[in-house]
Amino acid sequence: MKYEDVTLQREWEGAKEPPDVTVTASEAALGALLEDGDGEQDAERRVRQLGSRVARLDALNVGGMLAAATESGGAGAALAARLDDGLSAAAALGARLRRCDALARAAPDAAHARTDAARADANARALLAELDAIYRWLDPPPLRDLDSLAEPVLTTAEGRARALAAAEALRAALRAEPTMPAPRRRLAAVRERLRRLARAKDQLAAALARHLNNALIHLGNEAAQESRPHRHHTELAPYAPFMRWLKDMDEKAFDALVKVYAGSWARVYEREVRGACEAARAALCRDRTDDLLDHVLSLVESLCNAEQDFCTQFFYLDIDIKSDSSDGEKSEGGERERGDGGRRAGAETRRFMHELFPALEPELVALVGHVERSEP
């Protein structure tokens, strides 16, 4: 092979000499290639040898051109630099192609990884939303201190406001239980919290009933012993929202308070009506009968109207608390129920007034009979 390279080098150098007049350097080199070799070789082997020698000649030619161009500077140097840049760019492109191929092979695993991460993030967000919903349902700010509901402060406006906020929060939490999803209600922590809220509701209802019972008895005794104008309407008005809550959440305690109020004030009004009728009978011989009857009837009317207005608002006799707290759709049946509820409320008001003024009708009948007997 060294001999062939030397021969090729010489042939190439000879090709750079001035061409012969009759034969060019290329023709001479081609003739040398064709004459060299054994004629007995087969054609295929001869073609391979010729191809190999042509490739080496071409490499020597290019190398010589580059060497000459580099030595002389100018366009040749620029060409060499561009060839080097091309080789560098080709190497970089090959490296990038290998990276792309590696990424393409790893793409399925990366997609699975992204899907798992997205699923984990979605699950975490769903869990956070569920916990937030449970927290807002069972642990609103008014219910942070359940132990204080056993002894609420009801003698001040601020204490009543806190107690009422806690009462309404308890009512909302307990009423919302049937509307919550079954899996949420089956959680052990949710069941335990609901039991604590139910106990707090019972404790608050007992405290409210105890305080209101004492207030009703005290005001009734005070009115029975003193002759000054009654102030129980003003004193009891701030507790009307608690009566509404008791009527909805503890109907037994509510009914007991209604009986206490009716019993306490029935004695007071019985004494007042009887006193007015006795005064009218005593003055019958001095004053006109019509004036006496008008005075008694005006007194009775003012007492009855004032008590009816107060009791309707304080005891919520004209509304159905259970129906008012529900969110059912309006329907023909619902309209009939609301109509029946209105009639029941009217009947309830009349029954309550009858319990509050049990001696009114007998005293008026006795007064009218006395007047009729006294007239000539």
Q: Hey, what are 317's tokens?
A: 């006799």
Exposed/middle/buried for 34, CB within 10 Å: 0-12, 13-18, 19+?
A: exposed
Quick check: helix, strand or coil at residue 54? Answer: helix
What pLDDT was estimated at residue 7? 54
Residue 222 has pLDDT above 90, yes or no: no
Q: What is the pLDDT of residues 178-213, one digit of tens each?
A: 999 999 999 999 999 999 999 999 999 999 999 999
What pLDDT was estimated at residue 344? 46
The fraction of the chain above a pLDDT of 90, given in percent, is: 32
Distances (CA, A) of 269 to 166, 194, 227, 356: 36, 45, 12, 8
Q: Hey, what are 303's tokens?
A: 């007492």
More confident residue, 216 or 327: 216
Q: Which whole number is the average pLDDT over 24-41?
A: 56
| pTM exceeding the 0.75 threshold for the entire prediction | no
What pLDDT was estimated at residue 297? 86
Domain locations in the chain as residue ranges = 2-68, 250-374
More confident residue, 372 or 189: 189
What pLDDT was estimated at residue 74? 58
Confidence category of residue 244, pLDDT binned at 50, 70, 90: very high
Q: In this structure, what DSSP letter does residue 153 have?
A: -
Least confident range of 8-12, 171-175, 331-335: 331-335
Residue 327 has pLDDT above 80, yes or no: no
Identity at 289, one-letter amino acid code? T
CA separation for the pair 162, 169 (Å, rounded) = 11
Question: Average pLDDT, whole number, for the chain?
Answer: 78
What pLDDT was estimated at residue 332? 37
CA separation for the pair 33, 56 (Å, rounded) = 13
Confidence category of residue 228, pLDDT binned at 50, 70, 90: low
Angle, alpha carbons 319-320-323 (nearest 5°) = 130
- Give the HSE-up count for residue 186: Cα atoms under 13 Å, Cβ half-sphere: 3
Q: In this structure, what DSSP letter does residue 228 have?
A: S
